[in-house]
Copies of this chain bind each other. A is one copy, B any other.
Amino acid sequence: MKKVRVGVAGYGVIGQRLADGVSLQQDMELVGVADVAPTLSVRALREKGMPYNFYVAAPEGRPALEAAGIPISGSLEDLVQSVDVMLDATSAGVGAKNKELYAKYGKKGIFQGGEKNSVADVFFHGYANYEKGLGAQFLKLTSCNTTGLIRAVDCLDRAVGIEKVAITIIRRVADPGDYHRGLTNALQIDKAPSHQALDLMTIMPHVQATGILVHTPVTHGHIITVVATPKKSVTPKDVEEILDQHPRIRMVSIDEGFLGNASLFRYARDLGNPRGDMYEIACWRDSIVMSGNDIMFAINVPQESVVIPENMDAVRACMRMQEDRIEATETTNRYLGIGKWRNLK
């Protein structure tokens, strides 16, 4: 079978991981990555011996890239012409501009959560609305928090029906290594409702959602508490079992040593995962409680890597590589090595 040819625009926190993810998909071929400047990530690519071809995303960036010794395979336009689909992980707003280039050559484009919804035909989540993405030209993925949150809510919704959710997002404010933003000894609140709650309703219009977001000065993983009203009566044990069956949810407990978001980052490093990444969200077994008939629980969202699997799903959907939601997500999972740990149980 001919592999689907994929390019990645923007080789930053997300772009690098998309490139790594694509190169693990045996039915896809990573044609190359594009960026504008010799950032640390691009310098690291060179130090690794250029496992991926590099394209210049803007001509004015070429001198600095050359000065830094980065071998250049062509321009972003060259890259676009060589692929079937572009994964666009550029800074918010740039994707909308790049879209014109993708359209010019009739290529598909997949955008990240930072872009406006209007950039795409479909606002996409691999598990919640895979079918909507089938054959679409332009998809936009949900942001990291929303992606993780929907995994849990969609999973419960398919099992018992969810009427409404009220979420509290305890958001990590910067990624490790970020120096252009940060917060020092402060919690910061956003106006409610948070966009994640609104986005959830766009993807899952039959669920009512609201939420409050508070930024915290940490770099490893968001924690979200969810108060969900189910349509059927459930117990905490039921909830635990339902979530435990989701391939992209990892059930953990405080007693095992998972004390918080930093434990999960450390665990992923100790697993030897590249960059210390984890594709799964985690849910604490010992956080699941009832509020009357409502369920309450806490999840951890590894912000740098959580969207990678759903991006692979998006390629599958828009390129019609698989027609079936379960088949597609399982193919992604298999190539990314998600869920291997379950065999140990």
Which residues of chain A have a CB within 8 Å of any CB of chain B? 16, 38-41, 43-49, 68-69, 163-166, 168, 170, 172-174, 176-179, 181-193, 208-212, 214-221, 223, 225, 227, 229, 254, 256-263, 265-267, 269-272, 274-276, 284, 286-292, 294, 296-298, 341, 344
Given known A-B contacts A220-B186, A270-B41, A344 and B46 have beta carbons under 8 A apart: yes
Name the contact of A260 in the complex, choosing from B179, B192, B193, B296 (C-beta under 8 A): B179
A192-B246 Cα distance, complex, nearest whole Å:
22
Q: Are A294 and B166 in contact (CB under 8 A)?
A: yes
Q: Is the CB of A39 within 8 A of B257?
A: yes
* A40: contacting residue among B39, B223, B257, CB under 8 A: B257
Considering the complex, give the chain B residue whose CB is closest to the CB of A164.
B292
Would A179 and B189 count as touching, CB distance under 8 A? no
Measured CB to CB, the nearest residue on chain B to A266 is B177
* Contact, CB under 8 Å: B208 / A291: yes
Residues on B with C-beta less than 8 A from A288 are 192
Residues of B within 8 A of A227 (CB): 166, 227, 291
* Chain B residues positioned under 8 Å from A272 (CB to CB): 44, 48, 274-275
* B184–A185 touching, CB < 8 Å: yes
Q: How many angstroms between the C-alpha atoms of A100 and B112 in the bound complex?
A: 49
Residues of B within 8 A of A39 (CB): 257
Q: Are the C-beta atoms of B48 and A260 separated by less than 8 Å?
A: no
Contact of A187 among B46, B47, B208, B223 (CB under 8 A): B223
* Residues of chain B with a CB closer than 8 A to A185's CB: 174, 176, 184-185, 217-220, 262
- Within the complex, the shortest CB–CB distance from A32 to chain B, in Å, comes to 17
**A189 contacts B287, CB within 8 Å?**
yes
Contacts of A341 in B (CB 8 A): 47
Q: A182, B217: Cβ atoms under 8 Å? A: yes
Q: Are A193 and B262 in contact (CB under 8 A)?
A: no
The reply to whether A344 and B270 form a contact with Cβ atoms under 8 Å apart is: no
CB neighbours of A291 from chain B (8 A): 164-166, 208-210, 227
Question: Would A221 and B187 count as touching, CB distance under 8 A?
Answer: yes
- Of chain B, the residue at the smallest CB distance from A51 is B272
A185 to B261, CA, bound (A): 9
Distance from A224 Cβ to chain B, minimum over Cβ atoms (Å):
9
Smallest Cβ distance from A30 to chain B, in angstroms? 15
Query: Chain B residues with Cβ under 8 A from A174's Cβ?
Result: 184-185
How far is B214's CA from A40's CA once the two chains are assembled, in angstroms?
Answer: 20
Complex interface: chain B residues within 8 A of A219 (CB): 184-185
Q: Give A188 Cβ to nearest chain B Cβ, in Å.
A: 4
- Excluding A210-B296, A275-B276, 4 further A-B contacts by CB distance (< 8 Å) are A164-B292, A177-B263, A186-B263, A192-B297
Nearest residue (CB) in B for A11 is B270
Q: Would you give 21 A-B contacts (Cβ < 8 Å), ordered by A?
A: A40-B258, A40-B266, A43-B257, A46-B344, A47-B271, A49-B344, A163-B292, A166-B294, A166-B296, A177-B262, A177-B265, A179-B188, A186-B218, A188-B259, A189-B260, A192-B298, A210-B289, A212-B287, A214-B225, A215-B260, A227-B291
